[in-house]
A = this chain, B = another copy of it.
């Protein structure tokens, strides 16, 4: 019997000692009320909330869980290093070995720098692009998420217009818009940020055209600007290399985070020779950036990325899920819009402008032990088996059945914050 009394009690306590009760991307404030906020345990592809409910988890901690929660090889490496030391007065040799391994794994990389947050890596790339030729203008695709700092954050509270003074927006995958933005930058173009594919919340996902990727590369070459591929979210789920390598385009800088140590806290900026002097000139640091444990966890993760079929398994189970859901939805009289790579599913319902159907369906799935997300792209991990997908589909079948009966009576979505996010996503999205 699914209950959430412990979770609701914790949420009430949290209201008193955290502003709004919770913040950031793991907050459930925009989610249906049944979604649990607090969890007690995770193993493999499974997650248990504080009420003891077990879930097949399709969020993977919003990305970090690449190989399965608590992967034994990664955890063994982390435990062994924790015995020796973690945050010390200097790094361990793991920092050099990890940089060497990244250089050996990612085609464009001649060097690496490590940090903690994805935003640390993108902020380093911003500063590095500006330091490269002492220029200021940086192009960002409209609506693309590159982190939570004043120069890029999706909400304006507490920022000033000057924080974005030299940021020029353009429409993703739109050659004319790109050209206009480049003209606007003139001889002050420092760099262009490229999301590997469009994976914004509340939006359909889509891959850019190879012509677009090549055009971005060409502009950066012609103007001696730096091309940054922000692989924080998609890294190692698209390729065992930078995600744009599949399009035949290599960046000057790439930013990584989320899953490079299978859940241990570390992110990275990788660069080519062209960007080395700029990277050498900038001042960046953080209290825990040199800690040894996450570096050993990252080495173990990269070894598994290189030596196992983790990616093919993720793609196989992702495809099974997508195909299964598509057929199942149709059998219940629903049409799904599933977009982006199967490794990072984004699922919306057709004719569901205010998302009331999507919200009701994911809530019904959650109550049945399948953690799906109504507006953020999901993630497949390598511990997910075809049997897990089959079990998932049994439960979603039940959720669809419930929804078929309740659909006509679903109340409109009436959370103004959700509607505002939907409106902004629609403005920023330009499908290819």
A residues whose Cβ falls under 8 Å from a Cβ of B: 10, 13-14, 16-20, 22-26, 28, 36-43, 47, 49-50, 57, 59-65, 69-70, 75, 78-79, 82-93, 95-96, 99-100, 102-103, 110-113, 116-120, 123, 126-131, 136, 148-151, 153-155, 157-160, 162-163, 165-166, 232, 257-258, 263-265, 267, 271, 276-291, 294, 371
Give chain B nearest CB distance to A69 CB in angstroms: 6
Contact of A117 with B288 in the complex, beta carbons under 8 Å: yes
Give chain B nearest CB distance to A112 CB in angstroms: 6
CA distance A112 to B277 in the complex (A): 40
**Which of A18, A40, A42, A99 has its CB near the most chain B CB atoms (within 10 A)?**
A18
CA distance A96 to B371 in the complex (A): 22
Chain B residues contacting A102 (CB-CB under 8 Å) are 17
CA distance A264 to B82 in the complex (A): 10
Contact of B116 with A265 in the complex, beta carbons under 8 Å: yes
Chain B residues contacting A271 (CB-CB under 8 Å) are 19
CA distance A159 to B283 in the complex (A): 10
Chain B residues contacting A120 (CB-CB under 8 Å) are 117
Give chain B nearest CB distance to A390 CB in angstroms: 22
Asked whether A284 and B23 contact (CB < 8 A) given A47-B89, A64-B87, A89-B57, the answer is: yes
Nearest to A83 among chain B residues (CB) is B70
Chain B residues contacting A14 (CB-CB under 8 Å) are 95-96, 99
Contact of B126 with A39 in the complex, beta carbons under 8 Å: no
Give chain B nearest CB distance to A47 CB in angstroms: 6
Give chain B nearest CB distance to A279 CB in angstroms: 4
